[in-house]
Each structure stands twice: as C-alpha cells, then as structure tokens.
Structure 1
Amino acid sequence: MEHEPFPSEGHAEVRIVAATPEVARRVAEVLRRCFASTEQRSYPAGRAEGTRLHITLDTTQAAEPAQSWLTTSTSTEQTQTHADEV
C-alpha cells in the first residue's frame, strides 16, 4: 500500500466518515471553529449510504478553546492504527 505524504508542519489532514453528509458537515463545522482550515471535500464512503469528508486544519492558527488546549497538552505519539484504517 502506498502511503500519502504527511501534511506540512503545523497542519493536520482529518477524515470524517459518517452515515449522512449532514453529520459529517456538523463535525467539520466544529473543527473549523477551533482551527483555520481548507475547504472540505466530500466523497462517497463506499457503502450504500455514507459520506467521507476530508479537511485540512492549520493548527498554528488555533482559536479558543483549541489554542489553550494545545499549549497545555503534551504530545503522545501513537504509531498504532485501527484495524479498519487505510
């Protein structure tokens, strides 16, 4: 399996999988309230119904409460993935 390149420093690629486009958009809206972001991109989730939404977040331009959480949290690197992650 070919791996996608990592986003640039300070950015995070987020993929939201939901049963409906509305649920995915609601989650993306919460993330956009905390971080600067690109336009979201939606795709079929590969099932009869469902949506996969991709969004890129700029963590260097965080708003409250994300900004205070980022400055007080410690990094815990996890290299394990879930069984269903691609």
Structure 2
Amino acid sequence: MTPQEAPPAGYAEVQVVAASPEVARRVAEVLRRSFATTEQRSFPAGDEGGTRLILTVDTTRAEEPARSWLESSR
C-alpha cells in the first residue's frame, strides 16, 4: 500500500509520531490489545528527531472494549 492509497474496507492505517521510539511502541501496544494489526513500520520523524510508526489495524476483528466503541459510533 502506498501512502496515497486507502486501506481495504474494514482496515485503518494509523500513524504515531512521538519524541522517542519507546513512546511510539507503547501507543502501538495499546492498539494491539484492541485490534488485530500488521507488523509496525517505523521511520525517523523529521529533522528534529523522533519516530514515526505506522501500522494497519483490522477493525473487523476488534476485541472488547473497542468492539462496543465501534458499534456505538455507527
């Protein structure tokens, strides 16, 4: 998937930009507890430092409490 392409139906691409790789990984871990995800990809976040982490989540395979949040938001 290229940056301009939308993910398939039922999926969402999530980008986390954080000051450190550890902070980005902690956010990704929270997402993994609620959704099935792809392997994360990380990149430098620009000239100032930091980390950009990208992962794709499968919203069709959400666990609780994400499932109830998704259903109530429709």
Bucket of the pairwise TM-score, normalised by the shorter protein = over 0.9
Whole-angstrom CA distance in 2 between matches of 1:49 and 1:61: 34
Residues 1:20 and 2:13 aligned together = no
Write the distance in 1 (CA, Å) between the matches of 2:48 and 2:67.
38
2:10 alignment partner in structure 1: 10
Give me the TM-score of the superposition, normalised by structure 2. 0.92
Q: Partner of 1:47 in structure 2?
A: 47
More helix by share: 2
**Amino acid aligned to 1:26:** R
Larger Rg computed on CA atoms: 1
Q: How many residue pairs were aligned?
A: 72
Percent identity, please.
65
> In 1, Cα distance between the equivalents of 2:72 and 2:65?
11
The unaligned stretches of length 5 or more in structure 1 are: 75-86
**TM-score normalised by the chain length of structure 1:** 0.80
RMSD: 1.1
Q: Distance in 2 between matches of 1:67 and 1:30?
A: 14
Unaligned 5+ segments in structure 2 are: none
- Greater Cα offset, 40-49 or 8-17: 40-49
